[in-house]
Chains A and B, each alone.
Chain A
């Protein structure tokens, strides 16, 4: 039993129409309700991850730059400190020398005065 026959094969047109109908309905429902949502979500996640990767790359670059700056700064500071220490040492030595010289002078003066006084007394 069939509606038409093609080369002797009975074809039930109603079955085919119903099949086309149910598949179209299923397709439209899923197309409108579900697939747009899931594909959008996939796209958004892809974009989000791409963004995150670019941002990470940027941060990495920035961090590298900062680190270089810091290293430079640290070296400068160290050099300055060394210079300062050297200068301080020199200054201290100078001061010490001055003080010693002065002390010698004072002592020499004192000795001379003592001698003078003794001579006068004698």
Chain B
């Protein structure tokens, strides 16, 4: 059972069309969700729609207070909420169905986070943002001297740490989601082996779908928390 990705070459760059499709859908879903929940914002008694978004905002604010110490920075807060909603949506996008089409068995619809490109890109963006935030709030001097603290000998380790942070942040999400998708594909694929095997696999499939929903939410939370931790680490020393 081999699956490929629908790759195309535009402007001498390779694009994975399935990821272009699913990330666009995920972004649209997140945008519509936030747009409709914040459409009629009121300071008085909130509607149930507003309660949902307020709960999410306060959830991220709490993460920020626990790691950075304050939730004043609007940019970081927006970043956290967008990340949380986007990654969660992307994680559960592959749960209801997977579309495999064409002669080369190209996967068109899956969780975009189950492809390493998406989580790694997000991780790079977040680490770069944590560096930018450091330079902006504490100055370039603090940023440079941060690499030779507490000792000069730790310079290579400190530089390596930034790469390993990026990799682990991205690969943690990718690994979880990839495993989830593979298990789903295997369980769904069992129907080809006959009706009896298919029925046998139904219960594990159901459990795995619920578990997929759970790890989808959990990994989104972990990604946001770690992003905040990396931002706060750069603001400390």
Contacts and interface: CB of A to CB of B under 8 A. Distances in A.
A39 B23 contact: no
Contacts of A15: 14-16, 19-20, 115, 117-118
Given A13-B14, A27-B82, A18 B74 contact: no
A38 B57 CA distance: 8
B27 interface: yes
A44 B19 CA distance: 40
A41 interface: yes
Contacts of B75: 31
Contacts of A36: 74
B82 A14 contact: no
Interface string A30-44: 110111111101101
Interface in A16-58: 16-20, 22-27, 29-31, 33-39, 41-42, 44-45, 48
Contacts of A16: 117, 120-121
Nearest to B119: A19
Interface residues of B, number: 44
Secondary structure class of chain A's binding surface, majority of residues: helix
B43 interface: yes
B7 interface: yes
Contacts of A27: 78-79, 82
B14 A2 contact: yes
B38 interface: yes
Contact of A18 (B19, B38, B57): B19
B23 A19 contact: yes
Given A14-B10, A26-B30, A26-B82, A39 B57 contact: yes
Given A22-B23, A26-B86, A31-B75, A42 B31 contact: no
A14 B43 contact: no
Contacts of B46: 41
A12 interface: yes
Interface of B: 7, 10-16, 19-20, 23-24, 27, 30-31, 34-35, 38, 41-44, 46, 50, 53-54, 57-58, 74-75, 77-79, 81-82, 86, 112, 115, 117-118, 120-122, 125
Given A20-B121, A39-B74, 6 more contacts: A1-B14, A15-B19, A25-B27, A26-B86, A38-B38, A39-B77
20 contacts: A11-B117, A12-B13, A14-B11, A18-B19, A18-B20, A18-B23, A19-B117, A20-B125, A23-B86, A23-B122, A26-B31, A29-B31, A30-B81, A33-B38, A35-B77, A38-B38, A39-B57, A39-B74, A39-B77, A42-B54
Top 6 A-B pairs, shortest CB-CB distance: A14-B13, A14-B15, A12-B14, A31-B78, A34-B38, A19-B121
